[in-house]
Amino acid sequence: MALEKPYQDVPGTTIFDAEQSRKGYHLNQFCVSLMKPENRARFKANERAYLDEWPMSEEQKLAVMARDLNRCIALGGNIYFLARIGATDGKSFQQMAGSMTGLSEEAYRDMMVSGGRPIEGNRYTHEWEKK
């Protein structure tokens, strides 16, 4: 019998479960490596060469190089791990989170200051399909 995953019916959200974690293991471990300054320097000097040292999929590597965090998450990345890429780029958590929403940095910050994204209309995937 299949496992029940009710969290798949939440729009704009990917839950980092055991299945995602399995897919993203090497991607996330690459991110962990960026906690060491010498690795950050090597990555910055030649991203492709550094990524090629990891048994990641080509898709994962391209998503990292494009800094496409939504794609990274779809391919098994987790935001707390991906944050190491942002730290390497000198980006804050807010800049990273905002980059996944389609809003500009200013628009995202303004949304947060005025109380954040409301819950109404954002609970179930069918609420987004109508949009």
Partner 1 sequence: MARITASVYSSHVPAIGVAVDQGKTGEPYWQKMFAGFEFSKQWLKENTPDVIFLVYNDHATAFSLEIIPTFAIGCAAEFKPADEGWGPRPVPVVQGHPELAAHIAQSVIMDDFDLTIVNKMDVDHGLTVPLSLMCGQPSVDNFAWPCPVIPFAVNVVQYPVPSGRRCFNLGRAIRKAVESYDAPLKVQIWGTGGMSHQLQGPRAGLINRTWDNAFLDRLVADPAGLAQVPHIDYVREAGSEGIELVMWLIARGAMSDAPPKVVHRFYHVPASNTAVGHLILENQ
116 forms part of the interface with partner 1 (CB under 8 A): yes
Question: Taking CB under 8 A as the rule, which mask of x and - marks residues 45-84 in contact with partner 1?
Answer: ------------------------xx--x----xxxx-xx
Q: Is 68 left (phi over 0), alpha (psi -120 to 50) or beta?
A: beta
13 forms part of the interface with partner 1 (CB under 8 A): yes
CA distance 117 to 7: 19
CA distance 90 to 88: 5
**Hey, what are 77's tokens?**
């990345």
Scanning the structure block, which residue is given the tokens 């320097």? 41
Residues of this chain that bind partner 1 (CB under 8 A): 6-7, 10-18, 21, 25, 28-29, 31-32, 34-35, 40, 69-70, 73, 78-81, 83-84, 87-88, 92-94, 96-98, 100-102, 108, 111-113, 115-119, 122-124
